[in-house]
A = this chain, B = another copy of it.
């Protein structure tokens, strides 16, 4: 739903830790009433990845950034000046342990199921890791009469440990 005005508090977490252009992207998105999915479609990417890029955790190519700027009605020069070729993500956002309950639940999954996941990965793949670099993340809504469910998927390459 679009709004005539929308401001994002640039002195608050997590925006205070992002380039100021990020706040402008979020404000334009709110004014236009666009979802991440709608923006993502404009550049042929997925919504979670685009959201990550909005939060400074992924890098748009010059072309993608131009299209995103156009979609949001922001001058491309401004976006490129901040997030162009010279900019690289400084990844990692927010306090740890997370204070926000949504993000804390993800953190809790590591506390409670981390060793179980590691054990099953070793049983099925051997000594190595699931890459978080070559990994795709997806969030789906799964309707359920007892209450809708979130389907969160990580699809990451297995990397066997080098021996030498």
Which residues of chain A in 1-41 are interfacial with respect to chain B, using CB atoms and an 8 Å cutoff? 1, 3-9, 11-14, 16-21, 26-27, 29-30, 35-37
Interface size on A, residues (CB 8 A): 117
- Do residues A36 and B110 form an inter-chain contact, with CB atoms below 8 A? no
Q: How far is the CA of A139 from the CA of B120 in the complex (A)?
A: 7
- Do residues A26 and B86 form an inter-chain contact, with CB atoms below 8 A? yes
- Do residues B29 and A86 form an inter-chain contact, with CB atoms below 8 A? yes
Q: Could you tell me the distance in whole angstroms from the C-beta of A162 to the nearest C-beta in chain B?
A: 5
Kindly report how many copies of this chain are found in the complex they form together: 10
Residues of chain B contacted by A131 (CB below 8 angstroms)? 105, 133, 159
If A19-B9, A82-B7, A124-B141 touch, does A99 touch B113 (CB 8 Å cutoff)? no
Q: Can you report 10 residue pairs joining A to B where beta carbons are below 8 Å apart?
A: A1-B85, A3-B85, A3-B86, A6-B86, A12-B90, A14-B115, A45-B164, A96-B97, A152-B155, A152-B156
Instruction: Point out residues on A near B: beta carbons under 8 Å.
Output: 1, 3-9, 11-14, 16-21, 26-27, 29-30, 35-37, 45-49, 51-52, 54-55, 57-59, 77, 80-82, 84-125, 127-137, 139, 141-142, 144, 146-164
